[in-house]
Structure 1
């Protein structure tokens, strides 16, 4: 395959299987190399062969995902606490001199800053990109 064919194949894979993670891609190629269920490898590789590998992998992946839905998971909610209760617990442990609680509290504050305080900035950025050429 030449560079143009590889580039167009990569774009086709990204368009069709946009939900794959890099681990999925690696596992697909590993299974294609080791398994006969992906079709025989006769010394030729082209876009249609690789796309067939991805289609086979996608079917297998869907079967596994749907079988996981049938497994009922029970969660123990008796010991669950809210975010605010966890924060109060950490502050109480910090007041008692627990250094690990202080580190956990710092991590919680950092996560809070990353995920919750940046939402407005991200929303404004997306809005401004979407309405960049609107008349004002």
Structure 2
């Protein structure tokens, strides 16, 4: 819990730049039961934040954790810490007096979509760096229907079309 309390990701990029030991990796290292116990502590800390009519009992928490581990085995502790922070800040919607597994799973879907969007954006930025180093050659191109028309004209003896098929 000391490590959990010490981490404070502010955005998804912080998650991507953090140590990448996934929950499935943690499970292999310390065992599934110990991971589930850790996640119960993380989840209970999150649930205490809310003042709702009915709180989740131990079985609901355990079921939710098992579903989360099954759906998101690639998440790290940083993902969960950021997710809980964003949820507390209302980034995924209001709760209207109810906090249960369904709400958490739906919020995680929204977090996952946000995470995927950021990952895609970062991947495109990274790819764009290579475009600057290796600019595309400027070539004239034709569409496939244009190619077929040129090919037909060349087969009919059109000298200009034959020239277009001749390699430089």
TM-score, structure 2 as length reference: 0.41
- Separation in 2 of the partners of 1:43 and 1:33? 14
Q: CA deviation at 1:39?
A: 1.4
- C-alpha deviations, 1:76-131, integer Å up to 9, x for none? xxxxxxxxxxxxxxxxxxxxxxxxxxxxxxxxxxxxxxxxxxxxxxxxxxxxxxxx
Q: CA deviation at 1:40?
A: 0.6
TM-score, structure 1 as length reference: 0.51
Higher relative contact order (CA 8 A, sep 6+): 2
Match of 1:38 among 70, 73, 92: 92
**Residues 1-80 of structure 1 correspond to what in structure 2 (within 5 A)?**
1-35=56-90, 37-72=91-126, 73=129
More helix by percentage = 1
Length, aligned pairs only = 73
- C-alpha deviations, 1:43-90, integer Å up to 9, x for none? 32110000011000000000000001111346xxxxxxxxxxxxxxxx
- Separation in 2 of the partners of 1:52 and 1:14? 14
Structure 2: 5+ residue stretches without partners: 1-55, 131-168
- Separation in 2 of the partners of 1:44 and 1:64? 29
Regions of 4+ moved over 4 Å: none
